[in-house]
Amino acid sequence: MVQFLVLLSVAVTAAFAPDVAHHAALNTAHHAARNTTHYAALKVAHDVAPGVEQHAAADSAPQDAFWSNLRALCESAATGRLLKAPPGDTQIDPTATLVVHFWECGDTELRFPLHVNDNRSRTWVFIRHADSIELRHDHRESDGTESRNTWYGAATMTAGTATRQDFVTERNGIRSGWRVEVEPGKRFAYGTARNGEFRHHLEFDLTVPAATPPLPWGYRVRPSQRP
């Protein structure tokens, strides 16, 4: 697990659209760690101490509940607003109409497009793994092609809770990335985070269903990184 964290620490991401090289490094480190060191460590731990398997199952319970809470939102939409952004940040107009569409739901992948007024370029992609949940950002141009900055993201490093998960990397003692919260029947929240605090904070009202928006740009073509 130490090697897993070291690999991830190479690529810290704390903004909506970091540079392409940074996220390529994150993606390579994340999947290399998942396929080699992490699973080898789990096997050794199980051989030495059989109780580890039961402990790992207990740790996955909050993420299982969180995943169920996300899936319960499927085939609905909600309006929201920008509650917080770093000083000088203009990526999202505070007066913009925000709609999240809980659109495409599979057993191991969820796709939730974010509509900012008529901009339909953003889709949040949640991927369920045996030991974590991964968050990716699928960005498209209006013609459906992939944006230059796309597919950045991170995976959970801790069990989290049934209502909150942090998708982060760690470097020099600082954890940064994204936070997602869901209170069933009340609110859905998304934002960038650093050391457990929101930097950008978008919140959506689940108490009043919203009209289903048009499908996101490029929805007919899967991301090249996950065909």
Residue 141 lies in a domain: yes
Inter-residue contact 122 to 114 (CB < 8 Å)? yes
Would you state the structure tokens that stand for residue 5, as one six-digit string?
A: 């964290």
Residue 218 lies in a domain: no
Closest CA to 18 of 178, 198, 181, 144: 178
Residue 225 lies in a domain: no
pLDDT at site 25: 43
Separation between Cα atoms, residue 179 and residue 167, nearest integer Å: 6
Residue 139 lies in a domain: yes
Q: Say whether pLDDT at 1 is over 50.
A: no
Confidence at 200, pLDDT banded by 50, 70, 90: very high
Q: Say whether pLDDT at 40 is over 50.
A: no
pLDDT at site 75: 96
Confidence at 59, pLDDT banded by 50, 70, 90: confident
pTM score, whole prediction: 0.76
pLDDT at site 81: 97
Confidence at 47, pLDDT banded by 50, 70, 90: very low
Q: How far is CA 66 from CA 18, 58, 208, 222, in A?
A: 27, 14, 21, 25
Residue 212 lies in a domain: no
pLDDT in tens, 62-78: 999 999 999 999 999 99
Pairing of strands 76-84, 98-102: antiparallel
pLDDT at site 42: 34
pLDDT at site 166: 98
Confidence at 8, pLDDT banded by 50, 70, 90: very low
Separation between Cα atoms, residue 146 and residue 178, nearest integer Å: 21
Separation between Cα atoms, residue 150 and residue 91, nearest integer Å: 15
Inter-residue contact 141 to 121 (CB < 8 Å)? yes
Residue 48 lies in a domain: yes
Closest CA to 205 of 191, 188, 190: 188
Q: Tell me what the pLDDT averaged over the chain comes to.
A: 82
Closest CA to 16 of 196, 147, 188, 205: 147
Average pLDDT estimate for 109-136: 98
Between vectors from CA 134 to CA 165 and to CA 129, what angle results, nearest 5°?
A: 105
Q: Which domain holds residue 123?
A: 2-205
Total domains in the fold of the chain = 1
Q: Say whether pLDDT at 39 is over 90.
A: no
Pairing of strands 197-198, 201-205: unpaired
Confidence at 60, pLDDT banded by 50, 70, 90: confident
Give start and end residues of each alpha helix (H) in 36-50.
37-48
Q: How far is CA 82 from CA 18, 136, 176, 209, 211, in A?
A: 20, 20, 19, 18, 19
pLDDT at site 6: 33
Residue 214 lies in a domain: no
Would you state the structure tokens that stand for residue 92, as one six-digit string?
A: 């999202």
Separation between Cα atoms, residue 52 and residue 196, nearest integer Å: 28
Confidence at 131, pLDDT banded by 50, 70, 90: very high
Q: Say whether pLDDT at 21 is over 90.
A: no
Confidence at 38, pLDDT banded by 50, 70, 90: very low
pLDDT in tens, 149-169: 999 999 999 999 999 999 999
Average pLDDT estimate for 114-138: 98
